Every structure is written in structure tokens, then in C-alpha cells.
Amino acid sequence: MSTITFMGVPRSRIDWSPQIDCAKCNDCMECVKFCPHQVYEVREDAKPKLIVKNPENCVVFCRACAKTCGVDALSFPDKNETTVRIKQIRKELEGQ
């Protein structure tokens, strides 16, 4: 089951998930092995083999999969900008 909200904000409104640099990725799949939230999908006969299948399953502010990446192919949005955005959305929701 995916996380539905983060700090009261619908997860779908928060832009937080990994971006794969396919030019760097060497298909080692350490990130897939690590992530317990099924964010990634491995497609055996496709190119690229690794894709972000469920971005909304990604835990907001978690970048642990990137720490398993030997070739530094994973990147995430800016944390400060994301925090500001979450606070903005919370304000909007309070006003409703």
C-alpha cells in the first residue's frame, strides 16, 4: 500500500521521486534491491531496463536508494523547495 498523505498533504501533490540518469546507470539494480516501496520496475527486455514505476510510493525526503548507487545515476528534487511547497499546500488546504 502506498502512503496517501505526507504531513497532511496528498502525496500526489508532492513532487518527490528519483530521476534516473540512463547514461550513467549500469543496471546493477542495487536501488531496486534496496527500495521496499516498489518505486522502481525492472523490465527485462526493454531499454532502459530500469524505470520509476510508482513515483508516489517514494517516501518524501528519503534518498536512501541514491546512496546505493555506485555510479551516481540517481537524483532527487531540492529538499528546501519541497519543504516550502508542502507548507504552501498545507496553507491552501487550511483555507478551504
Partner 1 sequence: MNPNQTYAILPCNGLDKAAGGVTREMAVELAEQTGSEILCPVFYRVADARYNRLAAERPLVVIDGCATRCASKLAAEKGLKVARKITVTEEAKKRGIELADSLRLDETKRSLAKTLAAALLEADAAEPAGPPAATAFPEHFEYETYRKDKFIFRMPKAGFYFSENDFWVLVNGRRARVGMTDFLQQSLSDVLFLTLPEAGSTVEQFGELGTIESAKAVAEVISPVTGKVVAVNEALTASPERINQNPYEQGWIVEVELADFEKDRELLLDFAGYFPILKRKVDEFHVK
94, 92, 37, 41: which is closest to 60 by C-alpha?
Answer: 37
Q: Which is nearer to partner 1, 38 or 46 (CB)?
A: 38
3-state secondary structure of 52: strand
| CB nearer to partner 1: pick between 46 and 90 | 90
Q: Which is nearer to partner 1, 53 or 79 (CB)?
A: 79
> Which of 79, 67, 53, 45 has the alpha carbon at shortest distance from 87?
79
Interface with partner 1 in residues 29-88 (CB under 8 A): 30, 34, 36-37, 59-64, 66-72, 79-80, 82-83, 86-87
Count of residues touching partner 1 (by CB under 8 A):
28
